[in-house]
Structure formats: C-alpha cells, structure tokens
C-alpha cells in the first residue's frame, strides 16, 4: 500500500501518522489500553461469567500452573547439568 494511502487510511480511522510505523502502532496500542482500563475502572457494574466458561478458565489456569512448575523443575535440572559440566 502506498504511503499516501496509509496516511489517508490513518486519517479516516482517527489514528495519527508518525514517521516510524512501529512507534505509531505502539502509541496507538498504549492509548487503546489506557482508554479501556479507564473505562473498566469507571464501570461499577458486576459481571458474572457463565459457569462453563468459568470452569474452563479454572482448568486452563490449573494447566498453566502445572506447566510453570514443570518449567521450573526443568530449569533447575538444566542448572545442575551446567554446573556439573563446569565442575569437571
């Protein structure tokens, strides 16, 4: 896409155009995140997850915890292996 088309697209969508595209994307992302966090902080309504979604979330968190524990154990074994190589 030619740079003029990108500038027009950014202008139409409300994004400002910077000299570096990655800087613009980072700034836009930061702005979006800050806007959403502020919106969530101001919203005082309660939200309840459906039971099946909540159960799936808990299962995923349990799997994540197991993976992190296994990763920790593997790193400890790797550390011991490297130290034993250096000792010989």
In three-state form (DSSP H/G/I as H, E/B as E, the rest C), the secondary structure along 13-50 is: HCCCCCCCHHHHHHHHHHHHHHHHHHHHHHCCCCCCCC
Residues 33 and 67 in one domain: no
Q: What is the pLDDT along the chain (88 residues), one digit of tens a residue?
A: 444 444 444 444 444 444 556 666 677 888 888 888 888 788 777 778 899 999 999 999 999 999 999 999 999 999 999 999 888 6
Residues 11 and 42 in one domain: yes
Structural domain of 65: 48-88
Residues 59 and 40 in one domain: no
Residues 88 and 54 in one domain: yes
Q: What is the pLDDT of residue 21?
A: 61
Residues 38 and 63 in one domain: no
Residues 12 and 39 in one domain: yes
Number of domains observed in the structure of the chain = 2
């Amino acid at each position: 896409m030619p740079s003029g088309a990108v500038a027009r697209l950014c202008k139409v969508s409300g994004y400002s155009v910077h000299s570096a595209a990655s800087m613009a994307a980072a700034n836009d992302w930061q702005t979006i995140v800050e806007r959403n966090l502020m919106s969530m902080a101001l919203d005082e309504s309660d939200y309840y997850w459906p039971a099946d979604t909540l159960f799936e979330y808990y299962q995923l968190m349990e799997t994540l915890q197991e993976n992190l524990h296994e990763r920790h154990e593997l790193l400890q074994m790797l550390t011991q292996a490297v130290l034993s190589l250096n000792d010989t």
